[in-house]
Amino acid sequence: MKFIKYLIIFTIIVFTSCKTKKNMIDANLVAKEMSAKKVAKKHIAANFDKKSIDAKLKADFDNGKLKQSISVSLKMIKDEVIWLKGSKFVTVFKAKITPNNVRFYSPLTRQYFDGDFSMIKKILGTDINFEQLQNLFLGQSFTDVRQEKQNIKIADNSYVLSPEIQANLFDIFFSVNPAHFKLDKQAIVNAKKNQRLEIFYPTYDVKDNSIYPSTIKIRAKQKSKFTNVDFMVKSIEFDTDFTTDFSIPKGYKQIKL
């Protein structure tokens, strides 16, 4: 059950998309001096402009004790719902996340979870909502970088934004790609508790004139423990018709994370 729990949590926190023809992206573009305000504005303008996503993903999980790969079906209607199904020969889990609710169940263990975003808050150490999760899934910043004054520097050919005044519990950093202004990386760090969550977007592809991360790598560390989850897109479609029906079978036992 521990593998399923962590996989669900990090599938919720991270999402990837598109494996298609590579165009419209200049991988050799060099980051030049630019104001934090302009970079923030360009990053927000690069946000996803489709209504829905229907994708097939491959997920690799490793926490030092267990290594496993799983196939994940993801259906997302922007601002409304994220639906997930994990399988490895048989269904491992199903999940449905809405702005107010997080629900999932496992046919393998006959257990389920039905709650709110306090589960995500427990993992990140800060409040989080559906829109923020959605931004993470789409290669966008965890917070709206226009709402606060940002420091800026160029590192590893990325524009690195960080709030001039960081939050009390954690520091947050956004590395913005100079070619398409989506993220190369974002990190949430709680130095006091020795916790770090880093989300890398090493590759992007283009489909229907929309740029998407084709790979996402999650690195979560807490003292001597770590959890790595890698997502790779096998296929993706935009703005198609699909259902996100979800019901927890009778007889399953409720679990608490």
Does residue 183 have a pLDDT over 70? yes
Residue corresponding to tokens 């999980």: 61
Decide if 238 is inside a domain.
yes
Write out pLDDT tens, residues 206-228: 999 899 999 999 898 888 888 89
Would you call 118 exposed, middle or buried from its count of C-beta atoms within 10 A (0-12, 13-18, 19+)? exposed
Pairing mode of beta strands 111-115, 150-155: unpaired
Contact 22, 206 (CB under 8 A): yes
Contact 118, 110 (CB under 8 A): no
Would you call 257 exposed, middle or buried from its count of C-beta atoms within 10 A (0-12, 13-18, 19+)? middle
φ and ψ at residue 137, rounded to 5 degrees: -65, -30
Cα(225)–Cα(63) distance, integer angstroms: 8
DSSP lists the bridge partners of residue 233 as: 57
* Residue 250 vs residue 143, higher pLDDT: 250
Decide if 34 is inside a domain.
yes
3-state class (DSSP) for residue 54: strand
Cα(236)–Cα(16) distance, integer angstroms: 10
Upper half-sphere CA count for residue 47 (Cβ side, 13 Å): 18
Residue numbers of the domain that contains 121: 2-248
Cα(222)–Cα(234) distance, integer angstroms: 31
Q: Which of 6, 17, 52, 56 is nearest to 211 (CA)?
A: 17
- What is the chain's length? 257
Decide if 166 is inside a domain.
yes
Does residue 193 have a pLDDT over 70? yes
**Is the Cα torsion angle 12, 72, 196, 62 positive or negative in sign?**
positive
Write out pLDDT tens, residues 113-136: 898 877 666 554 456 688 877 877
CATH number at residue 177: 2.50.20.10
Does residue 13 have a pLDDT over 60? no
The single-letter DSSP state of residue 193 is: T
Using alpha carbons only, what angle is made at residue 181 by residues 179 and 184, rounded to the nearest 5 degrees? Answer: 90
Decide if 191 is inside a domain.
yes
- Which helix (H) or strand (E) element contains residue 189? strand 183-190
Write out pLDDT tens, residues 137-181: 789 998 889 989 999 999 999 999 999 988 877 889 999 999 999
The structural domain count of the chain equals 1
Predicted TM-score of the model (pTM): 0.82
Does residue 37 have a pLDDT over 60? yes
Decide if 255 is inside a domain.
no
